[in-house]
Structure 1
Amino acid sequence: MKRPLLIALGAAALGAAGLLSAPTISPLAAQAAPAQAAAVQKTTFSIENMTCAMCPVTVTKAMKGVAGVKSVTVDFAAKTATVIYDPATATVAAIAAASTNAGYPARPAG
């Protein structure tokens, strides 16, 4: 009877210790989050030469290799790639060039 009680008390103590040591967020950090969100842009690219299931993997890898690219989502059926990136670091031209250099010419859709 004592063993389950000791285990429960130990688990509760560890849980409380974890809560007490959780980092707090300063008001300044909370204000910085919207500024960081505004620091990214999204551009959709038309991609040529995608003919097989491995093509989107290659395009994704090439575009993610550009500094400042946060995420790449390739739509094989539509032959597009949507890229979220930091415009202070990456450019549309650099992202398109990375895909083009991998054998899949890219240009901003629109």
Structure 2
Amino acid sequence: MKHLMALSVLLAASVHPVWGAPQTVTLSVPGMTCSACPLTVKVALTKTPGVEKAEVSYEKRQARVVFDDAKTSVTALTQATASAGYPSSVMGAGK
């Protein structure tokens, strides 16, 4: 029983959960040509697992996305917009 308890403590101490850090990226989305386009882009981004928040501006032709970098990547975000018909590229990134 002591060995089982020691093994349990050792396993618990050696297992470290992997936590993602929230990241923010601004995407340029030049293909938005009408005021309804941002809704399509926002839906595509928010359906991407790991996206916490997406703000899309028609006037600026930009999307600002907050995401968990353990669950998704910038590449996945640009693929999501492209799949929705709006290719995008990174403008700036930071925490």
TM-score by length of 2: 0.73
Which one scores higher on RCO, CA 8 angstroms, separation ≥ 6? 2
SS in 2 for 1:109: strand
Shift of 1:48: 2.2
Calculate percent identity across the aligned residue pairs: 36
- For the aligned residue pairs, the C-alpha RMSD in angstroms reads 1.4
Counterparts of 1:52 and 1:75, CA distance in 2: 11
Q: Choose 1 or 2 for highest CA Rg.
A: 1
Match of 1:73 in 2: 55
Describe the superposition over 1:8-67 as per-residue Cα deviations: whole angstroms up to 9, x where unpaired. xxxxxxxxxxxxxxxxxxxxxxxxxxxx8x820000000021011110000000011110
Alignment length, in residue pairs?
A: 74
Counterparts of 2:22 and 2:42, CA distance in 1: 18
State which of 69, 73, 83 in structure 2 corresponds to 1:87: 69
Counterparts of 1:43 and 1:87, CA distance in 2: 11
Unaligned 5+ residue runs, structure 1?
1-35
Structure holding more strand per residue: 2
TM-score by length of 1: 0.64
Structure holding more helix per residue: 1
Unaligned 5+ residue runs, structure 2?
1-18
